[in-house]
C-alpha cells in the first residue's frame, strides 16, 4: 500500500516549482492517499514542576494543544492526605451512588459489532467499596465513572477536600469548568480510545493512571466505524447480556484496541504514534481537547478531573478537515 504524505517543515521557504508540483502530485496520485501532518511533538509528555502564569500556560500549552504533567498543582488539597478508602467510606457511608458495571472492564467500547455501554447501578457507596476492597466478590468489573459532574452531583461531601475549579486554568481560559468528575475503580476497568471536546485537567489523588495518547493529527491512522448502541445487563444467573437500545441511530466509535491492535483489519493504525504517560498521586495531567486517550489505572485509584469546554476555533476546523479527509480517502 503506497502512502502519500505531506510533511510540514518549520521553514517557510516555498521550494521550487518542480518540488511543489511533485508534492501536489504525491498528495493526490498515490492511493490510498493519507495526508499526514507532523506537528512538533515531544517523544514523551513533558513535566512542569509547578503551574505557570495563565498567559504562559495559554501560549505554550493550550494554544498549541500540547499535553503536559504538572507537579505541585494541588499540594494544598486536604484530599491528598485524607482520601483513603476508609476515609471515603466514613464520609459517604451507604449513600447511593452511580456505578458502572461490565463483564470485562470495558465500559463504552466496541464489543463484537456493538458499541456497548455499562450497566449503571445505584448502590450504596459502602457496598461499592466492599467490592473494590475485595471484601465481597460479585461478577463483573466495577467503576465509579459517571462523569456528568458527579463530584458535585453525587459526592458533594467530598468537595471541601478539593476545589470547585482550578483557579489558574479558569483565568487562563476565561471560564469555569463545565464539569468536575470523581473517579474510583478496579484495575480491570479500562477506558477505550476516544476523544473529548474538553480541555481536561486530570488530578490523581491516590494510586496511578496510565494514559495512552494520540495527538489529533493521528486521525488519518485511527479507524472509526459505526455501531448499533447496546448496554450490558446482568441476568438472574449472573451472566452479562448485551441488550440493544431501541430505535437509536448508529454511533461512531474507534474499534482498535491500542493494547492489542488488530493490524490485519486496521493496518493504518501501525502508523499512529502513541505517547504513554503515568500520572501519579499528586500529579495533574493537562489533556488537551481533541487528543485521543485510552486509560488504565491501579486498583482503587482515586482521581478528580476538570472539564473546560474547548474553543471551537482554528484547531477545531483543522481537525474537522483532517476528519473529513480521513473518511474521504476510504472511498477512493
Residues within the interface to its own copies (CB under 8 A) = 6, 8, 10, 12, 14, 16-17, 20-21, 23-25, 27-29, 35, 37, 39-40, 54-56, 58-59, 62-65, 171-174, 197, 217, 226, 249-252, 311-318, 320-322, 324-325, 327-332
Cα 296 to its chain centre, rounded Å, is 10
Contact criterion met (CB below 8 Å) for 317 and 217: no
- Maximum Cα–Cα distance for the chain, whole Å? 73
Write down the least CB distance from residue 226 to its own copies, Å.
4
What contacts 192, CB < 8 A, 6 or more positions away?
Answer: 106, 108, 109, 110, 253, 254, 257, 294
Tell me how far apart the alpha carbons of residues 152 and 149 are, in angstroms, rounded to a whole number: 6
What contacts 219, CB < 8 A, 6 or more positions away?
Answer: 319, 322, 323, 326
Write down the least CB distance from residue 279 to its own copies, Å.
24
- Name the residue nearer to its own copies (CB basis): 21 or 259: 21
Angle between helix 125-132 and helix 85-92 axes, rounded to 10 deg:
160
- Name the residue nearer to its own copies (CB basis): 47 or 226: 226
Write down the least CB distance from residue 276 to its own copies, Å.
23
How many residues comprise the chain?
332
Write down the least CB distance from residue 113 to its own copies, Å.
14
- Name the residue nearer to its own copies (CB basis): 211 or 319: 319
- Name the residue nearer to its own copies (CB basis): 119 or 199: 199
- Name the residue nearer to its own copies (CB basis): 151 or 322: 322
Write down the least CB distance from residue 31 to its own copies, Å.
11
Tell me how far apart the alpha carbons of residues 235 and 49 are, in angstroms, rounded to a whole number: 50
Write down the least CB distance from residue 157 to its own copies, Å.
33
* Dihedral (Cα; 190, 195, 196, 200), 10-degree rounding: 70
- Name the residue nearer to its own copies (CB basis): 11 or 235: 11
- Name the residue nearer to its own copies (CB basis): 42 or 138: 42
Write down the least CB distance from residue 35 to its own copies, Å.
7
- Name the residue nearer to its own copies (CB basis): 49 or 313: 313
- Name the residue nearer to its own copies (CB basis): 66 or 146: 66
Tell me how far apart the alpha carbons of residues 34 and 30 are, in angstroms, rounded to a whole number: 9
Write down the least CB distance from residue 168 to its own copies, Å.
11
Contact criterion met (CB below 8 Å) for 68 and 147: no
**Phi/psi at 24 (5° precision):** -65, -45
Tell me how far apart the alpha carbons of residues 296 and 277 are, in angstroms, rounded to a whole number: 11
SS (H, E, C) 33-91: ECCCCCCCCCCCCCEECCCCCHHHHHHHHHCCCCCEEECCCCCCCHHHHHCCHHHHHHH
Write down the least CB distance from residue 249 to its own copies, Å.
5
Amino acid at each position: 500500500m503506497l502512502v502519500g504524505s505531506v510533511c510540514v517543515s518549520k521553514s517557510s521557504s516555498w521550494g521550487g516549482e518542480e518540488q511543489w508540483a511533485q508534492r501536489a502530485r504525491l498528495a493526490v496520485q498515490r492511493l490510498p492517499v493519507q495526508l499526514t501532518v507532523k506537528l512538533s511533538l515531544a517523544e514523551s509528555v513533558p513535566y512542569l514542576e509547578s503551574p505557570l502564569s495563565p498567559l504562559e500556560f495559554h501560549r505554550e500549552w493550550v494554544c498549541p494543544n500540547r499535553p503536559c504533567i504538572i507537579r505541585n498543582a494541588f499540594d494544598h488539597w486536604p484530599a491528598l492526605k485524607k482520601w483513603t478508602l476508609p476515609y471515603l467510606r466514613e464520609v459517604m457511608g451507604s449513600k447511593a451512588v452511580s456505578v458502572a458495571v461490565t463483564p470485562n472492564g470495558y465500559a463504552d467500547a466496541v464489543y463484537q459489532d456493538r458499541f456497548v455501554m455499562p450497566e449503571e447501578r445505584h448502590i450504596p457507596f459502602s457496598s461499592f467499596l466492599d467490592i473494590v476492597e475485595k471484601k465481597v466478590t460479585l461478577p463483573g468489573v466495577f467503576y465509579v465513572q459517571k462523569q456528568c459532574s458527579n463530584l458535585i452531583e453525587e459526592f458533594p461531601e467530598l468537595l471541601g477536600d478539593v476545589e470547585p475549579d482550578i483557579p489558574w486554568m479558569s483565568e487562563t481560559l476565561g471560564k469555569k469548568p463545565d464539569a468536575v468528575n470523581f473517579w474510583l475503580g478496579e484495575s480491570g476497568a479500562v477506558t477505550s480510545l476516544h476523544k473529548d471536546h474538553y480541555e481536561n485537567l486530570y488530578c490523581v489523588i491516590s494510586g496511578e493512571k496510565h494514559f495512552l495518547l494520540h495527538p489529533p493529527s493521528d486521525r488519518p491512522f485511527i479507524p472509526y466505524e459505526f455501531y448499533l448502541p447496546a448496554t450490558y445487563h446482568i441476568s438472574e444467573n449472573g451472566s452479562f447480556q448485551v441488550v440493544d437500545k431501541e430505535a437509536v441511530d448508529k454511533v461512531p466509535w474507534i474499534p482498535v484496541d491500542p493494547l492489542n491492535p488488530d493490524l490485519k483489519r486496521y493496518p493504518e493504525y501501525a502508523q499512529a504514534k502513541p505517547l504513554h504517560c503515568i500520572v501519579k498521586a499528586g500529579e495533574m495531567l493537562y489533556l488537551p481537547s481533541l487528543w485521543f486517550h485510552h486509560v488504565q489505572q491501579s486498583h482503587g485509584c482515586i482521581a478528580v478531573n476538570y472539564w473546560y469546554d474547548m474553543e471551537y476555533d482554528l484547531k477545531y476546523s483543522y481537525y474537522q478537515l483532517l476528519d473529513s479527509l480521513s473518511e474521504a480517502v476510504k472511498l477512493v
